[in-house]
Amino acid sequence: MAIQKPTLPKGTRDFGPLQMARRNYIFDIIKDTFKLFGYQQLETPSMENLSTLTGKYGDEGDQLLFKILNSGDYLKDVAPSDIEAGAAATLAKVSEKGLRYDLTVPFARYVVMNRNEITYPFKRFQIQPVWRADRPQRGRYREFYQCDADVVGTDSLVCELEILLMIKRVFASLGLKDYAIKLNNRKILTGLAEVIGAAGREGELCVAIDKLDKIGWAKVQEELQQRSFKQEAIGKLSPIIDLLGSNREKLDFLESFLKDSEIGLKGIVELREVLELLNQYGESEDFVDFDVVLARGLSYYTGAIFEVKVNHVSIGSVSGGGRYDNLTGVFGLEGVSGVGFSFGVDRIYDVLEELNLFPTEQLEGTQVLITYFEEEGRNYGLQVLNKLRTAGIASELYPDVVKIKKQFTYADKKQIPFVMVLGSDEINAKQVSLKNLISGQQESMDLSDAIKMIQGQ
């Protein structure tokens, strides 16, 4: 058999040591924030029954699901007539499981299955990979991590407030200073469709309007025409398009614009309250931007909609979420309101890399490498190694008896800041030689002094 070069499946990646250190840096900040706000961690299986997943993300979403072929003879139930009927008819007979597409639907499933054990309001966070059979691009992968935090069992707008606060805390910790938390409300979009005389069509309306900053008002009008919106209705939208000013000014304008839509006004009230709560908490409205044309997750969001975009980078949104009043309804549990959002770690990684915001100092990693010349030094080194680790210092002993130069090169490559050299002089004097590879200074001392010096750093 000919040797073949190994490759990765399309849209997947390996993460090397440097990348993992950087990813953990991001994960730790997010995790700490979720915990600080009282969220508890949950994990669910990578695969779910296909019946749990399908129909939750729209037709597009169903197409992007990775399906898992049944084990064994997966063709045993397939008749020739099934194959003639096409892929859709055959699928149900060859696959009953799929990889999760997001963390929200598995969470809804979990809530329904554990409805009696859960204490409400239930605040949970979940950090796991999800899979989408999309075509990969920059910032778009087939396997990527989501960091979700959701609350179910309350419709309090305090939850919306906390989402804003968590986003602000995470981004501040990451050193991101130029970003926008775009905020809107599904009810406002519904109201918008009502007052322009296109009630019930906010989905279509939003798909077009959402592209405003990308393709411009003229093109959006064209698209709306193609979707057979009346010219009169399109004309009514124009004051919305150039809406500028503070959040308050925009809300004031929308309030009069939506005066004939009860639901639209409800959305305004909700948004005002979220901003008011932010104020009560003692936090500014910096980075929070009410954006009437923001439209995401329309297949299930019913209240607030969030999206976070970092300015001046070539990556799409890095976080998003919203309120869904009845996500568990499809699983037979009605009346459970939830709100949640998600950080896209892989995209945040790309953003931090593009903006050069990763901390340069390597916090994780070995602090000391023990080097020696022969067996005797290695035996002495093992005792030293034990004491270093007992003192809580990340340390390692070079495993092979090789030239000292090679051992130093290893320390240098691995960016280990200290090297201990153990030769006959040190062994006889029961000391160690400690070299600081950054300053280049080296001196002999007792091990206890060396430990102090390393910890003093």
Binding-site residue set: 102-104, 132, 146, 150, 296, 300-301
Q: Do the beta carbons of residue 113 and residue 333 sit within 8 Å?
A: no
- How far is Cα 296 from Cα 407, in angstroms, rounded to an integer? 55
- Bridge partners of residue 289, in order along the sequence: 182
Going by DSSP bridges, is the β-strand pair 143-152/122-131 parallel, antiparallel, or unpaired? antiparallel
- Of the CA atoms within 13 Å of residue 306, those in its CB half-sphere come to 29
31 in contact with RNA (CB under 7 A): no
Could you tell me which residues come within 8 angstroms of residue 120 by beta carbon, excluding any fewer than 6 positions away?
152, 153, 154
| Both structure tokens of 303 | 């209240």
Q: Do the beta carbons of residue 299 and residue 190 sit within 8 Å?
A: no
Candidate ranges 151-159, 173-181, 328-336, 419-427; the one touching RNA (CB under 7 A): 419-427
Sequence letter at residue 354: E
**Within 10 Å of residue 309's Cβ, how many Cβ atoms?**
20
Binding residues among 438-457 for RNA as defined by CB under 7 A: 438, 440, 442
Strand stretches in 179-328, DSSP E? 179-185, 288-290, 304-310, 319-324
User: Smallest gap, in angstroms, from Cβ of residue 421 to RNA?
Assistant: 4
Which position among 23, 31, 211, 387 is part of the footprint of RNA (CB under 7 A)?
211
227 in contact with RNA (CB under 7 A): no
Which position among 35, 41, 45, 138 is part of the footprint of RNA (CB under 7 A)?
138
- How far is Cα 411 from Cα 142, in angstroms, rounded to an integer? 36
414 in contact with RNA (CB under 7 A): no
Phi, psi (degrees; rounded to nearest 5) at 342: -145, 135
73 in contact with RNA (CB under 7 A): no
Candidate ranges 80-88, 90-98, 410-418, 446-454; the one touching RNA (CB under 7 A): 410-418
409 in contact with RNA (CB under 7 A): yes
- In order, the DSSP letters of 10-55 are TT-----HHHHHHHHHHHHHHHHHHHHTT-EE----SEEEHHHHTT
* Between 32 and 213, CB nearer to RNA: 213
139 in contact with RNA (CB under 7 A): yes
62 in contact with RNA (CB under 7 A): no
Residue positions in the annotated binding site for L-histidine? 102-104, 132, 146, 150, 296, 300-301
Candidate ranges 47-55, 78-86, 113-121, 434-442; the one touching RNA (CB under 7 A): 434-442
Identify which of 96, 111, 106 has the alpha carbon closest to the alpha carbon of residue 127: 106
424 in contact with RNA (CB under 7 A): yes
Which position among 22, 23, 31, 140 is part of the footprint of RNA (CB under 7 A)?
140
- Bridge partners of residue 445, in order along the sequence: 432
* Between 10 and 177, CB nearer to RNA: 10
425 in contact with RNA (CB under 7 A): yes
319 in contact with RNA (CB under 7 A): yes
Candidate ranges 23-31, 32-40, 362-370, 412-420; the one touching RNA (CB under 7 A): 412-420
Q: Show the binding pattern over residues 350-389: x = contacts RNA (CB under 7 A), - = does not.
A: -----------------------x----------------
- How far is Cα 59 from Cα 82, in angstroms, rounded to an integer? 21
Q: Which residues sit at the interface with RNA, rule CB under 7 A? A: 2-3, 5, 7-11, 58, 60-61, 63, 102, 132, 134-142, 144, 146, 207, 211, 214, 296-299, 307, 314, 316-320, 342, 344, 346-347, 373, 403-406, 408-409, 411-413, 419, 421, 423-426, 433, 435, 437-438, 440, 442
